[in-house]
Amino acid sequence: MPRRLISFDWALKRLLRSKAHFGILEGFLSELLQDDIQILEILDSESGRDTPLEKLNRVDLRARNQRGEIILIEVQYERQFDYLQRILHSSARTVVDNLPKGAPYEDIVKVISVSILYFDFGQGEDYVYHGATRFIGLHRHDELQLSDKQRELYQCDQAHQLFPEYYLIKVNQFDGIARDPLDQWIYFLKNEEIQSDFTARGLQQAKDELDVLKLPEPERRAYERYQDDLHQQASMVQSSYGVGRMQGLKEGRRMERERIAQSLLDVIADDLILAEKTGLSLDDIQRLRGTG
């Protein structure tokens, strides 16, 4: 049976910021981006989270690779309906903050945003989504290409390579079947286990170095508390979602009853009879008539 491993979010918090563990993170990013990623440095996070709940629900890391590209990695647990706007804000801010004052626009840094999501997000059947900015002709439907001089200036082949790119990994939607090396990584993200036949880059190092049993006792206790907090918070979110859903259903039924009663005000003059037929209270009927 596979050994239990430290969750990826905890590794981001405590381990992967160390240069000795860069190989794990490089392996994950190499399989995701289909490129040989070498991390030069881990940058300070700009998330600015202050509340304990935010610190629990979000883990983020900023890395710079050998091409000078900044890679934003974020693990997110809590539901956030405006999450797309938030990652847009994060990438835009990173672009602006990394352009020195007075520098030409050609020095704008390339940003790659990677979100590892442990909550239901958007509608779609896949579990990995990629977003990029592409310019498509309205009439001929061709994609705008860089000129030879632009390729030489920007050191890239396609226009979309100049703009931020986004990767959304919906971990909970993964079906557990590892079809390729990236799936092997997502299997680990979901199950905190690495199967013996997995060969994806970085996973062997993760298997060796992220063993829970190898943690010092104080670190292991802190990790167990963190996991317990996540389980408790997930239960609270689920409970509040269930309560909110029930309240929404009740409110919907009430509004439907009031709509029916409104249509019968001129038909049934007796407030008691109308209340009985619609399931509303006498006070509700009088309020609808404007006499309450």
> 29 and 128, same structural domain?
yes
Distances (CA, A) of 228 to 23, 63, 110, 190, 232: 28, 29, 37, 16, 6
Mean pLDDT, to the nearest integer, of 35-48? 78
Say whether both 202 and 232 belong to one domain: no
User: How many CB atoms are closer than 10 A to CB 283?
Assistant: 11
State which amino acid sits at residue 237: V
- Do 168 and 271 reside in the same domain of the chain? no
Q: Average model confidence (pLDDT) for the chain? A: 84
Any long-range contacts for 85-94 (C-beta under 8 Å, 24+ apart)? 87/113, 87/115, 87/166, 90/46, 91/164, 91/166, 92/164, 93/46, 94/46, 94/62, 94/70
73 and 129 share one domain: yes
Give domain status of residue 219, yes or no. Answer: no
- pLDDT for the residue numbered 246: 58
Domain count, the chain: 2
Whether 243 and 129 share a structural domain: no
**Residue at which a domain ends, from 214, 237, 260:** 214
**Residue range of the domain that includes 274:** 225-289
pLDDT of residue 3: 59
Of 38-42, 126-130, 225-229, 242-246, which gets the smallest average pLDDT? Answer: 242-246
CA separation for the pair 56, 49 (Å, rounded): 10
For residues 129 and 253, membership in a common domain is answered with no
In a domain, 70, yes or no: yes
Residue-wise pLDDT tens digits, 77-94: 877 788 899 999 999 999
- In-domain check, residue 106: yes
pTM above 0.85, yes or no: no
pLDDT band of residue 53 (cuts 50, 70, 90) is: very low
pLDDT band at 7 (very low <50, low <70, confident <90, very high): confident
User: Do 30 and 101 fall within a single domain?
Assistant: yes
pLDDT at position 219:
80
The verdict on 132 and 35 lying in the same domain is yes
The distance from CA 273 to its chain's CA centroid, rounded to whole angstroms, is 53
Tell me: do 198 and 231 sit in the same domain.
no
Answer with the residue of higher pLDDT: 52 or 125. 125
